[in-house]
Amino acid sequence: MAARTLLQFFHWYTPSGGTLWREASQKADSLAKLGITDIWLPPAYKGAAGGYSVGYDSYDLFDLGEFDQKGSIATKYGDRAQLEQACHSLEEAGIRVIHDVVFNHKMGADETERVQVRRAEPENRTDIEDIAFEASAYTKFTFPGRQGEYSKFMWDMKCFSGVDHIEDPTEDGIFRLVNEYGDGEWSDEVDSEKGNFDYLMGSDVEFRNKAVYEELKYWGRWLPQQLPCHGFRLDAAKHIPAWFFRDWVGHVRETVDKTLFVVAEYWHPDMDVLHRYLEQVDEQLMLFDVALHHRFFDASKSGGDYDLRTIFDDTLVSVSPHHAVTLVANHDTQSLQAMEASVETWFRPLAYALILLREQGVPCIFYPDLYGARYSDQGEDGEDHEVEMPAIESLPKLIEARQRFGHGPQTEMFDDPGCIAFVRHGTAQAPGCIVIVANGEGREKSIDLGPDRAGDGFRDFLGYCQEEVIADDAGRIVVRVNGGSVSVWVPSDAI
């Protein structure tokens, strides 16, 4: 089976107009030929912003672009028929479909309700006022456009633990709803940032409500009945009780498919925190390697001053590789986003080589890095900015190299702060490769492949170095890399 290679097939500024599902259908065969095995699609259901919603302002999980709600029938990415076609086209091409889901909060309520609330200190959410007061909050979700199709469940104040806006009196902040769940406290088994990071935004879902818990399990069974579904990407996991995903993942695997691929976004670089979370969820899912992403960001900003020998230190892929989804960028880190940490363009090919060709981790490719993107938005300075993300010229070749040469055991040569290398030794059925990376001046490395490779020729698959190099009688070979670049040396007869 081909090595798993995940593509995030969208970005924050994916154009509106319902074109993405059609694009996925059209590109399914070419993506499979390229070497993509899994595609992560954006949230497919209706968001509060309707046809303009990226999908993280979750409104109606059961509206897949089928009902006239929030000003449109289609979502930003297309209507339900186009979504179905995209998923079936991908599956027929041999690509697994990974669906994004936001359980943490709901937005765009249909009605307000009179509720009792207590103010919480934004920087320390455990500091909650003792005295409750009455206000109106957007907590009633009736989904009038759907009229009970697929699910008759309606959400009200008992389904939420907090809100960030009230009226009569009108006030913004963080407000703990007074209800029968949790004795007025936030959920446990969430991230400890800000004292307790249960609350993130919108109407915060109350997972301790048994009816809510069962409704979300039902949705986990329902979606795979509607569409090809080979896994889930779980949004905002650090804000959701770990016990919920422990139970939910186990439930959908038991009732849908025990092989479902599940990766959670727990955006935290601390390995102790991630280890604790993995233990809490019984190690049933994978996590994005946030620490490695930040290593790439730092390395790209530091140029030749960064010690490449340390680039995998205290990263998830080095500590717990079977739980690591590695990435160079995603929709949250791209320019003009709140968590912006955009890896410099020159370093992206190096970073992709380090996640695509190593043995450990499941690599995730970002749509703009493969296809390019151009967009504009308001920056933190309040000014409009134009951003252009050029496609990485070598990325298709690196993806191809993963499938053709990313085989066999791995030997690392992390012996030079400005130049590191590793060897994939290949198998009886498939060749391996030598990957060499430099962040400063061009370098050479002597690699001992063993006497069995004596006299074998190697070439740079990426074409940056044009010469052929030959292993000596002892099977030792000297490979080189240009400055601030990467080369992938493979057997000459394999090109």
Active site residues: 235, 265
Tell me the C-alpha distance between 170 and 165, whole Å: 7
**Residue 198 marked ligand-binding:** yes
Do 94 and 230 contact (CB within 8 A), yes or no? no
- Cα angle: 276, vertex 364, 443; to 5 degrees: 105
**Residue 104 marked ligand-binding:** yes
Rounded to whole angstroms, what are the CA distances from 469 to 383, 483, 487?
52, 19, 13
Listing DSSP states for 346-361 in one string gives GGHHHHHHHHHSSSSS
Which residues, in sequence order, are bridge partners of residue 112? 138
**Residue 452 marked ligand-binding:** no
- Residue among 264, 237, 113 nearest 177 (CA): 113
Rounded to whole angstroms, what are the CA distances from 220 to 48, 230, 250, 256, 260?
21, 12, 11, 8, 11
Measured between alpha carbons, how far apart are the two ends of the chain, in Å? 21
- Residue among 388, 385, 387, 394 nearest 465 (CA): 394
- Cα angle: 193, vertex 248, 227; to 5 degrees: 115
The structure tokens 């993405």 sit at 20
Tell me the C-alpha distance between 399 and 31, whole Å: 10
- Residue among 270, 299, 300 nearest 287 (CA): 270
3-state secondary structure of 326: strand
The structure tokens 């046809």 sit at 51
Helix, strand, coil proportions of the chain in percent (round to 5)? 30, 30, 40
At 120, which helix (H) or strand (E)?
A: strand 111-121
Backbone Cα Rg of the chain:
24
**Residue 179 marked ligand-binding:** no
Tell me the C-alpha distance between 319 and 314, whole Å: 7
Number of H helices, E strands in the chain: 10, 27
Tell me the C-alpha distance between 264 and 490, whole Å: 35
**Residue 209 marked ligand-binding:** no
Do 467 and 481 contact (CB within 8 A), yes or no? no
Tell me the C-alpha distance between 331 and 288, whole Å: 13
Binding residues: 104, 198, 204, 239, 304
Q: Which residue numbers belong to the known binding site for Ca(2+)? A: 104, 198, 204, 239, 304
